[in-house]
Amino acid sequence: MTDLFSNFSMTIDGRSVASAATLDIINPANEEVVAKAPDCSREQLDQAVAAARKAFPAWRATPLDERRRLVAKIGEVLAQHAEDFARLFTLEQGRPLRGARLEVDFAAFWCGAVAKLEIPVEVNEDSELRRSETRHIPLGVVAGIVPWNFPVNLAVWKIAPALLTGNTMVLKPSPFTPLTMLKLGELMQDHLPAGVFNVVSGGDQLGPWLSSHPGIDKISFTGSTPTGKRVMQTAAENLKPVTLELGGNDAAIVLPDVELDKVADKLFGASFANSGQLCVAIKRMYVHEDVYDKVADAMVTRARASKVGDGLEQGSNFGPIQNRPQFEKVKDLIRDARENGLKFLVGGDVPAGGKGFFVPLAIVDNPPEDSRVVQEEAFGPVLPLIKFSDIDEVIERANASEYGLGGSVWSADTHKAIEIASRLETGTIWVNETQYIMPWTPFAGHKLSGFGVENGREGLLEFTSPQTITVAK
Ligand code: NAD
């Protein structure tokens, strides 16, 4: 029986592998060391890539139904150990247990759903003279690189479609949150053929080693925009296909006819879930002047009623910021807002001293459009609430961002909301909800939010190359 709370090892070629050096994994709620994770050496990375290359021919030749079964099995393993995975998640990531459990359950569901997706075969021509069809064949070894904010879900978004389509994988979780994926790798050793799914953990050097490795055929990356640019530069040298899911600065546009009693909880949750450390969090809330005070009240009331605390403590609704560098960034943004005389409706003070990276939920009252808190991706619980009066102007402001990940429109008039939604320059737009992302919904960032697609048919095909077969009759 695998113990989920100790002896963290990498999975390379179907075996547990330790390393000479280790990384301290810090609990962001108390800054204590939760565990030591392996710090992969260059040789060990070479071994992982070699193992994935060796496993590829047999895996791609494995009947699709068997690959479906094994992708679904990943979900079953997550579900079977959901409680322990959730606890481990909270210990290293900080999110309160309930939210951690939701992520593990969702990832389990996700594997089952991806396992059922069809890999399309398109018939281009079927005439008297010939038949031409296009199949989608695997690429080889996929490098999956994931961040620390959703360490289970965002990994599964890569593992499930990569393996289903017949690729093998080397997964690299974030150095801040490697523990859940290291354990998933260990648990899957009993089920997957050796080399199909390798998991390596390491410090800052490991990402560049992996993305520049000549044995990698595709990079599927989720993380920040600056790192995404570096990954794309590296990939260019070997002409590797990349999928980049990057940062965002999602705008919510709240119209005067918003049915606040129905959507206030959603607006609040979408802004502060995971303490704002979510690529598609509402990061700028534009509220029509007629309902600004009402919306502000609803948000402030909810913020005041929420408890920010250790995710393992009963009653904590929001956890700490996941790591010290991000904590410093969020504090800097708050400091900048204060120095520029912006008013906080709630929050805005980060108590000094004490252990843990806690930031009280903060709402900034109508900051100017060019303030940092509006222009930058906070990636923390700091929400600018911005007044607008003219719809054309607010659409322009929403679109002025260098990001284009998601956005949302909130109104009782669905037709009007859809019309506004279709003018937003983002990969996903929701009406009267946000953050609904499913295995069957393509998710793509426009502008600096990314390159390529995850999820849905388009996302699945990013793990394949088209191969057209034309047969003369
Ligand atoms: P990050 O870019 O610092 O790190 C992401 C991953 O890349 C980590 O595993 C890291 O070790 C690795 N890495 C770092 N340098 C690398 C390099 N040169 N080559 C290859 N890999 C390298 O991001 P983060 O701080 O972990 O995550 C937060 C960011 O991720 C935010 O900007 C957020 O919006 C974004 N994000 C985007 C999505 C999305 O789907 N669009 C989802 C979640 C998070």
Cα 63 to ligand 1 centre (Å): 34
**Average pLDDT along the chain:** 98
The Cα–Cα gap between 209 and 115 comes to 30
The Cα–Cα gap between 422 and 419 comes to 5
Q: Residues near ligand 1 with C-beta < 6 Å?
A: 145-150, 154, 172, 174-175, 207-208, 211, 222-224, 227, 230-231, 245-248, 279, 377, 379, 405, 445, 450
**Catalytic machinery residues:** 245, 279
Look at residue 2 in the predicted model and tell me its pLDDT. 81
Q: 382-388 and 284-288 as β-strands: parallel, antiparallel, unpaired?
A: parallel
Cα 220 to ligand 1 centre (Å): 11
Express each pLDDT in 342-359 by its tens digit.
999 999 999 888 999 999
Look at residue 353 in the predicted model and tell me its pLDDT. 86
Strand partners of residue 253:
286, 409
The Cα–Cα gap between 356 and 272 comes to 18
**Higher model confidence: residue 238 or residue 267?**
267
The Cα–Cα gap between 146 and 181 comes to 10
Please, how many CA atoms are within 13 Å of residue 314, restricted to the half-sphere of its CB?
0
Confidence band for 360, pLDDT divided at 50, 70 and 90: very high
CATH, domain 251-438, list 3.30.200.20, 3.40.309.10, 2.60.40.3500, 3.40.50.2300: 3.40.309.10
The Cα–Cα gap between 132 and 124 comes to 5
Cα 384 to ligand 1 centre (Å): 24
3 state SS for the chain = CCCCCCCCCEEECCEEECCCEEEEEECCCCCCEEEEEEECCHHHHHHHHHHHHHHHHHHHHCCHHHHHHHHHHHHHHHHHCHHHHHHHHHHHHCCCHHHHHHHHHHHHHHHHHHCCCCCCCEEEEECCCEEEEEEEEECCEEEEECCCCCCCHHHHHHHHHHHHCCCEEEEECCCCCCHHHHHHHHHHCCCCCCCCEEECCCCCCHHHHHHCCCCCCEEEEECCHHHHHHHHHHHHHCCCCEEEECCCCCEEEECCCCCHHHHHHHHHHHHHHHHHCCCCCCCEEEEECCCHHHHHHHHHHHHHCCCECCCCCCCCCECCCCCHHHHHHHHHHHHHHHHCCCEEEECCCCCCCCCCCCCCCEEEECCCCCCHHHHCCCCCCEEEEEEECCHHHHHHHHHCCCEECEEEEECCCHHHHHHHHCCCCCCEEEECCCCCCCCCCCEECEECCEECEECHHHHHHCCEEEEEEEEEC
Express each pLDDT in 33-53 by its tens digit.
999 999 999 999 999 999 999
Q: Which atom of ligand 1 is nearest to the CA of 157?
A: 40
Q: Rounded to two decimals, what is the model's pTM?
A: 0.97
39: left (phi over 0), alpha (psi -120 to 50) or beta: beta
pLDDT at 1 over 80: no
Confidence band for 81, pLDDT divided at 50, 70 and 90: very high
pLDDT at 383 over 90: yes
Q: Which atom of ligand 1 is nearest to the CA of 279?
A: 34
Percent of the chain past pLDDT 90, that is, above it, reads 98
Express each pLDDT in 161-187 by its tens digit.
999 999 999 999 999 999 999 999 999
Q: Which of 25, 93, 222 best tests ligand 1's pocket when mutated (most atoms within 8 Å of CB)?
A: 222
Domain 3-246+449-472 belongs in CATH node 3.40.605.10: yes
Residue-range domain boundaries for the chain: 3-246+449-472, 251-438
Express each pLDDT in 194-247 by its tens digit.
999 999 999 999 999 999 999 999 999 999 999 999 999 999 998 999 999 999
Look at residue 42 in the predicted model and tell me its pLDDT. 98
Instruction: Note whether 44 and 191 are within 8 A (CB).
Output: no
Look at residue 50 in the predicted model and tell me its pLDDT. 99
Q: Which atom of ligand 1 is nearest to the CA of 145?
A: 9
